[in-house]
Amino acid sequence: MNRFLAPFGAVVLLALTSTPAVAVSPSSQANATAKIYKPLTISKTQDLNFGTIVLAGTSFSNETVTVSTTGNVTCGSGSGNLSCGGTPTAATFHLVGSNNANVTVNSPTFSLGGPGTLSVTPSSTTQTLNLGTGGQNTGIDVSLGASITLSSSTTQGVYTGTWTVIADYQ
Inter-residue contact 135 to 94 (CB < 8 Å): no
Domain count, the chain: 1
**Residue 167 has what pLDDT?**
97
Residue 135 counted as domain residue: yes
- Interatomic CA distance for residues 39 and 167, integer angstroms: 11
pLDDT digits (tens, 9 = 90+) for 61-99: 999 999 999 999 999 998 999 999 999 999 999 999 999
What confidence category does residue 6 fall into, taking pLDDT thresholds of 50, 70 and 90? Answer: low
Listed residue (148, 163, 158) closest to 75, CA to CA: 148
Residue 22 counted as domain residue: no
Average pLDDT across the chain, whole number: 90
Q: Mean pLDDT over residues 129-138, rounded? A: 95
HSE at residue 146, side-chain half, CA atoms within 13 A, is 28
Residue 58 counted as domain residue: yes
Residue 9 counted as domain residue: no
- Flag whether the pTM goes above 0.85: no
Beta-bridged to residue 89, according to DSSP, are 49
Inter-residue contact 92 to 168 (CB < 8 Å): no
**From residue 93, how far is each of 110, 122, 142 by CA, in Å?**
17, 14, 5
Residue 20 counted as domain residue: no
Domain enclosing residue 51, as ranges: 41-169
Question: CB-based contacts of 128: which residues, under 8 Å, 6+ apart?
Answer: 102, 103, 104, 105, 170
Cβ atoms within 10 A of the Cβ of 19, count? 5
- Interatomic CA distance for residues 95 and 11, integer angstroms: 79
Residue 35 counted as domain residue: no
Residue 29 counted as domain residue: no
Q: Mean pLDDT over residues 29-48, rounded? A: 96
Q: Where are the beta strands (DSSP E) in the chain?
A: 41-46, 52-55, 63-67, 73-75, 82-85, 91-96, 102-106, 110-113, 117-122, 126-130, 140-144, 146-150, 166-169
Residues of the chain with pLDDT > 90: what percent?
A: 84
Residue 153 counted as domain residue: yes
**Residue 39 has what pLDDT?**
96
**Residue 24 has what pLDDT?**
83
**Residue 23 has what pLDDT?**
76
